[in-house]
């Protein structure tokens, strides 16, 4: 039996609206992203991080999983900024085959990444790919974002620069 994890698990309104958006894969010319209607439960998140790392001492308290790609890779808020709300936590991607990356420095910037045509996997693993901006997601971002619009590559590079040891720190937890 897993321990119940406490903490803020209220789904932000911006993610609730993202969950209603269309993310067509278009044979690789679109998004490989399936947003959820709510965060995975604390217990599901704990089970996942333990399976992903092989470390059964961990709990899932540091993550709020809110979507996946077609291979089972997960998009999550990484609760690394103590005392700040979920919307101010970075967005990360953890692939099903061990790929990882920081996507955006906060939820607002993530919305702009989506608007520019990147899903979490694409942003984390292939930011130089050709993308098609998504006007409907730009409108969604404009309704919810608290940060000014910036090009997705600037958002991604800024987040990676702010959290340069994310990958190493995560792999250090693996057994």
- Structure confidence at residue 27 (pLDDT): 65
Q: Is residue 151 part of a domain?
A: yes
Q: Say how far apart CA 69 and CA 119 lie, in whole Å.
A: 9
Q: Is residue 104 part of a domain?
A: yes
Q: Is residue 175 part of a domain?
A: no
Phi and psi at 77, nearest 5°, equal: -85, 130
Q: Is residue 169 part of a domain?
A: no
CB 150 within 8 A of CB 173: no
Q: Is residue 7 part of a domain?
A: no
Q: Is residue 140 part of a domain?
A: yes
Per-residue pLDDT band for 131 (boundaries 50, 70, 90) equals confident
Mean pLDDT of 148-154: 95
Q: Indicate whether 42 pLDDT > 90.
A: yes
The structural domain count of the chain equals: 1
Weakest mean pLDDT among 62-66, 125-129, 134-138: 125-129
- Structure confidence at residue 88 (pLDDT): 96
Per-residue pLDDT band for 25 (boundaries 50, 70, 90) equals confident
CB 45 within 8 A of CB 65: yes
- Structure confidence at residue 121 (pLDDT): 93
Instruction: Tell me which residue range forms the domain holding 92.
Output: 13-163
- Which residues are CB-neighbours of 17 under 8 A, at least 6 positions away? 140, 143, 144
Q: Is residue 154 part of a domain?
A: yes
Q: Is residue 66 part of a domain?
A: yes
Rounded to the nearest 10°, the torsion over CA 162, 164, 168, 173 is 0
pTM greater than 0.85 (yes/no): yes
Nearest CA to 127 out of 108, 106, 102, 145 is that of 102
């Amino acid at each position: 039996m897993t321990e119940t994890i406490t903490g803020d698990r209220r789904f932000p309104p911006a993610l609730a609206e993202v969950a209603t958006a269309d993310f067509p894969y278009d044979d690789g010319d679109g998004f490989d992203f399936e947003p959820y209607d709510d965060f995975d439960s604390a217990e599901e998140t704990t089970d996942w991080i333990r399976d992903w790392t092989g470390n059964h001492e961990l709990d899932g308290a540091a993550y709020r999983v809110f979507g996946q790609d077609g291979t089972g890779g997960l998009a999550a808020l990484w609760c690394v900024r103590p005392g700040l709300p979920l919307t101010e936590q970075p967005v990360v991607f953890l692939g099903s085959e061990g790929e990882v990356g920081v996507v955006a420095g906060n939820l607002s910037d993530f919305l702009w990444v989506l608007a520019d045509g990147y899903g979490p996997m694409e942003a984390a693993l292939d930011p130089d790919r050709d993308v098609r901006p998504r006007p409907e997601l730009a409108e969604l971002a404009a309704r919810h974002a608290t940060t000014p619009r910036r090009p997705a590559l600037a958002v991604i590079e800024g987040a990676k620069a702010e959290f340069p040891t994310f990958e190493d720190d995560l792999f250090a937890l693996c057994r």
